[in-house]
Amino acid sequence: MSAKGELNPTARFLMGPGPSDVHPRVLKAMATPLIGHLDPQFITIMDGVMEMLRQLFRTQNDVTFAVSATGSAGMETCFVNLLEPGDEALVCVNGVFGNRMCDNVERCGAKVVRVDAPWGQIIEPAQVKQALQGCIPRLVAIVHAETSTGVLQPLEEISEITHKAGALLLVDTVTSLGGTDVRVDDWGIDVVYSGTQKCISAPPGLSPVSFGPRAVEVMDQRKTKVQSWYLDLSMVRKYWAGAKRAYHHTAPISMVYALYEALRLIFEEGLEARFERHLRNHELLRDGLEEMGFEFLVAPEYRLPMLNAVKVPAGVDEAAVRRQLLDQFNIEIGGGLGDFAGKLWRIGLMGCSSTQNHVNMLLGALRRILKR
């Protein structure tokens, strides 16, 4: 058999729910020659990643590093390390990722107590408060930026309620981290995970996580072994942050390079400036879409700047429009999931994809396709 053709995908503008566009400096970093994963120079690079992640999460947590797999593995790392068979976990569900959390809890042999809100709306603190009267969960899990609906979830009040009930707060920040403020220590978040391919604008492949002192205590007091060998933090921690770095698995060196460079870009821009940019480009897109007669799914005060959930007008074939955007304009946007399949577009303005040019290009393309 002869070799297949060279890899040569068309350059696209990534404006869906992730991955987002990646800066050329990050791609270049990935082509940096490999060194060993226990090479002292690589360990210095890992230390740099951990330090920058602490600044991004705004935390002092020692146990802050990147799991060697995508955001879903970060989610699983949090649940498998904190839950033991027979535990209870309260999970807030207002979209796809809350449901995925419930599945994780069940696979740990723990009992799920669900708090549901309609998709497109926030979880109200009063709902959590009421649910906590009927259970004693080890943790309360909630999504900060629900990518399936475009909702930004306020966390502070729920954090207070959770701690009063003696539970840990576990938060999904896969889509929010790097695009809007995430204050792990100020908001009392005990456990948090994220991903690299959304507002951090690196390729998919790593999942930044952070565990606070209360969470570490719970892990240290486990009676049973973590059921996942690969994600067992009692071992992974020694590789990332132990006094003597011990082999656990071979870190994906090139992805660590990518994350290192992406984090450098974030701090060169500055967090406040970056959040401001995400907001400004969201507003530009919103104004343009509203001028064309489109409506957003989410109430203005809870809209995500990096993920715009827009209702598809009656009579428009949403999949056909997305296909035209891709084929004629090289723009990728996302469709709706679950109940919103066929009814929603999800337009991502994440990281390097959050620019005025991206917004204007998409608005121009939609005008052409829809003749508005």
- Applying CB under 6 A, which residues contact ligand PLP? 18, 70-72, 75, 97, 143, 145, 147, 172, 174-175, 195, 204
Find the shortest distance in angstroms from Cβ 69 to ligand PLP: 8
Cβ nearer to ligand PLP, comparing 64 with 196: 196
Residue 123 half-sphere exposure toward CB, CA atoms < 13 A: 30
Please state, in angstroms and rounded to a whole number, the distance separating the CA atoms of residues 217 and 212. Answer: 9
User: Is the Cβ of residue 265 or residue 304 nearer to ligand PLP in the bound state?
Assistant: 304
- How many helices (H) and strands (E) in the chain? 12, 14
Q: How far is the CB of 72 from ligand PLP (least distance, A)?
A: 3
| Residues 6+ positions from 224 with CB-CB distance below 8 Å | 84, 85
Kindly report the number of other CB atoms within 10 A of residue 126's CB atom.
Answer: 10
Determine the residue with CB nearest ligand PLP: 71
- State which residue, 167 or 174, has the beta carbon closest to ligand PLP: 174
CB of 155 to ligand PLP, least distance (A): 14
Measured CA to CA, the distance from residue 145 to residue 271 in angstroms comes to 17
Rounded least distance, CB 67 to ligand PLP, Å: 10
**Smallest gap from residue 220 Cβ to ligand PLP (A):** 27
Residue in 163, 154, 208 with CA at minimum distance from that of residue 190? 163
- Within 8 A by CB and 6+ apart from 201, the residues are 20, 21, 22, 23, 26, 178, 262, 265, 350, 351, 352, 353
Judged by beta carbon, residue 42 or residue 340, the one nearer ligand PLP is 340
CB nearer to ligand PLP: pick between 310 and 363 = 310
Least distance to ligand PLP, CB of residue 105, Å: 15
Report the residue number, 144 or 363, with the smaller CB distance to ligand PLP. Answer: 144
